[in-house]
Amino acid sequence: MNKVRNAFRNYGNITNAMFYGSFYVGAEFSQQTLKIFVFKDPEWSKYDFAAIGRFAVIGMGVNPHILYRWYRFLDSRWPGRSLVAVARKVLMDQFVLAPPHLCGFYTMMSIMEGKADIFEECREKFFQTYRVSCSFWLPAQSVSFLLMPPQYRVAFVGCCVFVWANVLCWFKRRNIEEFRNN
């Protein structure tokens, strides 16, 4: 346990990235496992490792590094765990970071998938995804900012991300037409 604690203390960004990314990739892997083995989806006969790789790029190479610096900024701007400080951090996280974060997810995925219109999926899916993100992340971040020591925050969010990324995977797989009809 000391080695893990030291890794978070001495190599926080990298350790958090590995931890967060593992959960992010795990969510995509679990979605595919359910489709193949549990639901026996006829469109899924084997794992799509390219999709898993795309989640690895975002989950290990992009998101945790942004979050690591973002949480350090929030903690320096509003230190402590008072209800006012926690409320400010949660609101900033959900209303300042989350919108570009979700747009980035859909856009980066579209780029990696080689889509002609890299913004189409974001345009069609953003608002429904964002509404759901508010119901998930507002309570999750309240717990994070209230109870988690700063050096473990990205790792804690990584655990939450396993659930959230499963939701994102579901949104990602839904046909754009479903969003247009709602």
Task: Note down the domain range covering 92.
Answer: 2-180
pLDDT digits (tens, 9 = 90+) for 161-178: 899 988 988 888 888 777
The position carrying tokens 């995925």 is 109
d(CA 18, CA 171): 24
The CA distance from 103 to 159, in Å, is 22
Average pLDDT (90-94) is 98
Q: What is the pLDDT of residue 103?
A: 98
Of residues 125, 138, 135, the one with CA closest to residue 168 = 125
Helices (H), the chain: 2-10, 12-33, 49-56, 63-77, 83-92, 98-113, 120-147, 153-173, 176-180
88-108 as b/e: b if 16+ CB within 10 A: ebbebbbeebbeebbbebbbb
pTM of the model: 0.88
Total tally of structural domains belonging to the chain: 1
Nearest alpha carbon to residue 168 among 31, 37, 12, 38 = 31
How large is the angle between the packed helices 12-33 and 49-56, nearest 10 degrees?
Answer: 150
